[in-house]
A = this chain, B = another copy of it.
């Protein structure tokens, strides 16, 4: 690919709901004012794919359209595949910013571990690119992203100036209300999914299970968590790190004779 001379920031956009998702369209409208936008997104929904990569099959990438200066590629893989393929193959220079979303549904608290939207943002950070994942707390296809777009615009503007410290990405969740009261920096709440599997029988008489269940916030008294602010009508901005080490435990484990 030819290298273009361009001083506008290059913004890579992806998601996990696929190229036809409404949240993606709203996000691109916001981002066009800040730089040159290239969309590289899954050809279909890849919800719940976390940080998964495709290792057993090859990937196809296709330029679907170029409209208003925005190229849209679809990829036959996960959100993280999309980021890797964009950076290594499809783009002619390293993006200055990666934005993932706007996801249809929440990725707050521990849900970030399951999220393909967040996975893509984490992969951006692993490639030393300032990266943000946006999610709206509304799962419906016809969700209204107007307020979410306003919040995204604010956060993107700050990140473009700040660049974000290395090794960090943002997980931004936005409540489904109008107006959204504002945006607050928060920590990830402790929570759990209370799982329920629906058990059914297929036409051949074999039992099968659908994953379902609901989230429970385990820190209902805390006033500095993403869950707290979302419940109060504020967007929650959680700075997330790539390093999973629990540093507080290192001396404890040495005392407990984990070493051999």
Contacts and interface: CB of A to CB of B under 8 A. Distances in A.
Contacts of A54: 48, 211
A1 interface: no
A211 to B, nearest CB: 6
A5 B149 CA distance: 56
Given A58-B208, A244-B240, A246-B168, A50 B48 contact: no
Q: Which of A49, A207, A260 has the most CB of B within 10 A?
A: A260
A183 B258 contact: yes
Contact of A211 (B48, B53, B188, B192): B53
Contacts of A80: 50, 114
A185 B246 contact: no
Interface of A: 45, 47-56, 58-61, 80-81, 84-85, 87-89, 110, 112-114, 119, 122, 126-128, 151, 154-155, 158, 162, 165, 167-168, 171, 182-185, 187-188, 190, 192-193, 195-197, 199-200, 206-211, 235, 237-247, 249-250, 252-254, 256-260
20 contacts: A50-B50, A50-B119, A51-B51, A54-B211, A81-B211, A89-B199, A112-B244, A167-B246, A168-B249, A183-B258, A184-B259, A187-B247, A187-B250, A188-B245, A235-B260, A239-B245, A239-B250, A239-B253, A241-B245, A241-B246
Given A52-B52, A113-B122, A239-B245, 12 more contacts: A48-B55, A51-B113, A61-B207, A85-B209, A88-B197, A126-B192, A151-B260, A162-B256, A182-B259, A237-B253, A237-B259, A239-B249
B113 A188 contact: no
Contacts of A45: 56
Nearest 9 A/B pairs, CB to CB: A50-B51, A183-B260, A241-B246, A58-B208, A239-B249, A240-B244, A50-B50, A187-B245, A48-B55
A83 B217 CA distance: 21
Contacts of A48: 52-55
A101 to B, nearest CB: 17
A53 B47 CA distance: 9
Contact of A183 (B112, B151, B188, B259): B259
Contacts of A162: 256, 258
